[in-house]
Structure formats: C-alpha cells, structure tokens
Amino acid sequence: MFDLQNIRDQFPILSQKVNGKDLVYFDNAATSQKPISVLNSWQKYYTEINANVHRGIHTLSQLATEEMELSRRKIQKFINAKNDFEVIFTKGTTEGINLIAYSLTNLIKENDEIIISYLEHHSNIVPWQMLCERTGAKLKVIPMDENGILQLDFLDENLSEKTKIVSLNQVSNALGVINPIEEIIAKTRANSNAMIVIDGAQSVPHFKIDVQKMDCDFFVFSGHKMYAPMGTGILYGKEEILRTIHPFHGGGEMIATCSFEKTTYADLPFKFEAGTPNVGGNIALGAAVDFMESIGQKNIQAHEKALLDYAQKKLLEIEGLKIYGEKANRTGVASFNLEGIGIASDVGMILDKLGIAVRTGHHCTQPIMEFFKIAGTVRASFAVYNTFEEIDILVEGVKKAQRMLS
C-alpha cells in the first residue's frame, strides 16, 4: 500500500517552517531530501565502523569494506548490471561523464564524431568539447523542436563509421522531457559502432532502470537526487569496455603493482576508484536504494506522474503562464514562466517568502534557454514525498507573484 503520510514522516526536514510558512520543497531535480534510514546509515558508519576500506586486516576495516561492497551489490541489482564490478563509485554524474570522456581519449582520432543532444546539462556538453579539443574530433548536436522533443531524423542522416560516441540524457533536467532512449540506441547500433553513454541523473529517481535491457555501454547517475547523500554517484560500464580503457585518476587503491619503472592497474572496479572513497556516503547510497525499493519504483512513478499531471493542469489555468515542453512526454518537472513578468528569479523570491522552494535560472542548460530566447525558467520538480495540497499552495503562490509583479 502506498502510504504518503508514512513516507513524509521519514523526512524530518519536511516538518520545518521556512520564512514562517510550512516548507514546500519543489527543488528535487537539484537535490532530493534524505529519509531517516539514509541519515541513520551514514551516521552509523561514522559512529560504529569508521575505517578505511580494503586491505585492512582489523575488524573495523573489514566491517566497513563488507558494508560498502554490499551497497555496490545493491546498486548492481537496482540497475540490473550483469556484474558487481561493472558498478564504479564516483562523486556524481559530472565526475562519471568526465571519467568516461578522459578515459576514451586514446580511442578518439581527428575528425571522429561525437553526438550529443540539444537537451543536455552542461556536464554532458563540456567534457565532450574538451575531448574534441584534445583529439580534433567534431561535436554534433541532435536538434529539438519547440516542445523539447528531439528530432531523431538527425541520427539517420549523421550516424556513420565516423561516429565514435553518442551521449545523451534519459530525462532533461530543465524540462523533464523523457527521451526515447530505446529508439536512439537502436538507431545507433544499426548505423555505427559508437559507444553509448546515458546520463541517468534525472531518470533514476523516477523509474526503473535496466542497463542490460537498455544495452548502453555506460550509464551514470548521482546519489543525491535519489535520496542519498551528496558526493555520491555511480558509473556503470560494460565489462569489456572498462577492461580496455585507461583509468581517470592515478594513486592508491587503483594499482596492482607500482614501481618507479612501471605501474600495473588493479582489477575492476578498483582500477577506476583511486584514493580513499566516500565510504559512509557509498553505504548510505545503498540505504537509499533500500528506501526506494521499500516503496516500489512503480508506486513512485505512478505518484509522481499524477503529481505532474495535476501540477500542469492547475498551472495552465493561470492566464499568461507558459510551460516549456508542455506537449512532450515528461516526468518530475514543470518548467514555466509568466509572460510579461520580469525574470524568473523574481517569481522564485516571492515563492521563497511563502515557504516554497523552487529553482530559477538556466538550470545548467544555457543552449535550451537560448533556443526559447529566455534567460531562465521557474522549475518546480517533484519527488515521492510531495502532495497535491503542496501543488495547490504552489499555484496560489504563483498567482500572488503574478499580481505583485504585474
């Protein structure tokens, strides 16, 4: 049974007041709040088994190692990776994409082509631009239409033997648009030998992921958007590719042998996990997986779809309000502006005074904003603990902002 009040009771932060009003938290695409079970997991590590992992013979080190590796196996199951060693701990999505882009450098040559989309977060643009600068490769961009829907005819015309990497998000952080990943991967496989990178930062919190069924080569996501601590994330990579590419960081833990003459690398996944890991955070990421699975990902998806449908309906009743990507298949996000009303941040500041947390600005997607010829949007983004009553409060807040700014 889906018990929304029970879910909300697990998030202490939701019971506080902000600016004298009950907190309404709609900034989940930036970061989600954390349930007690995740906070307790993190605290338990630091109060009971704090030690560095791997190679330690003492009890605390072994206990910490067991807990972190248990978390890795939970995540393996969560995304249906074939092997646990295909699951690499990172600081988040941005680091994961940078790791891939750097590690693939020696495989990319001048005039090779990398394809991304117009809907990308800057973290899925800049690392590929840097790779192009290092290698002389060329960056190509899948265009979108006025609804934020990618124009996939571009792939039919541009995929070729020159295409070495196709990298795009599964869900747009700025608009909430769900990209047709299955179709894109099928086209890529049929028309090139490109490696496929999927940014799952905004999809993992909202629906079930199966990397084997998806048949991507890499899949990256962040922990802090799916109820885990900040500074946590995952890079999944197919075993055969991870074994052939170079490490991103060098140092402790990632070596098999090290001498002044030569270093050999550790086996997977440690080859890509140099230095002391975020042990407490990685363990808590496993607890976040437990939290989501205790509710059920189908239940999460159904509730959040109902929230988005209701929010869109109520917001569009406001005269002069425009939702970007309104007609696209979306999840988790309503990104909007009030026509003729100053800038998005003015609306956001008024909502904040009413206890409503939203994100305003370009959302690290300046190309999208330039496409719509705007500086930014007001973005309300939803999580499993949000309610329909909170959406009503948001709508009344937007109406008040409209009156004040007119």
Residues 6+ apart with CB under 8 A from 257: 263, 264
Helix/strand/coil (H/E/C) assignment for every residue in the chain: CCCHHHHHHCCHHHHCEECCEECEECECCCCCCCCHHHHHHHHHHHHHHCCCCCCCCCHHHHHHHHHHHHHHHHHHHHHCCCCHHHEEEECCHHHHHHHHHHHCHHHCCCCCEEEEECCCCHHHCHHHHHHHHHHCCEEEEECECCCCCECCHHHHHHCCCCEEEEEEECECCCCCEECCHHHHHHHHHHHCCCEEEEECCCCCCCCCCCHHHHCCCEEEEECCCCCCCCCCEEEEECHHHHCCCCCCCCCCCCEEEECCCCEEECCCCHHHCCCCCCHHHHHHHHHHHHHHHHHCHHHHHHHHHHHHHHHHHHHCCCCCEEECCCCCCECCEEEEEECCCCCHHHHHHHHHHCCEECEEECCCCHHHHHHHCCCCEEEEECCCCCCHHHHHHHHHHHHHHHHHHC
* 8 A C-beta contact, residue 171 and residue 29: no
Q: Report the distance separating Cα 264 and Cα 24, nearest Å.
A: 52
Q: Report the distance separating Cα 199 and Cα 205, nearest Å.
A: 12
Q: Between β-strands 113-117 and 163-169, what pairing exists: parallel, antiparallel or unpaired? A: parallel
Residues 6+ apart with CB under 8 A from 198: 167, 168, 169, 170, 181, 214, 216, 218, 219, 220
In the annotation, is 364 catalytic? yes
For the beta carbon of residue 205, count every other beta carbon within 10 angstroms: 29
Token look-up 């960081």 returns 249
Residues forming the active site: 364
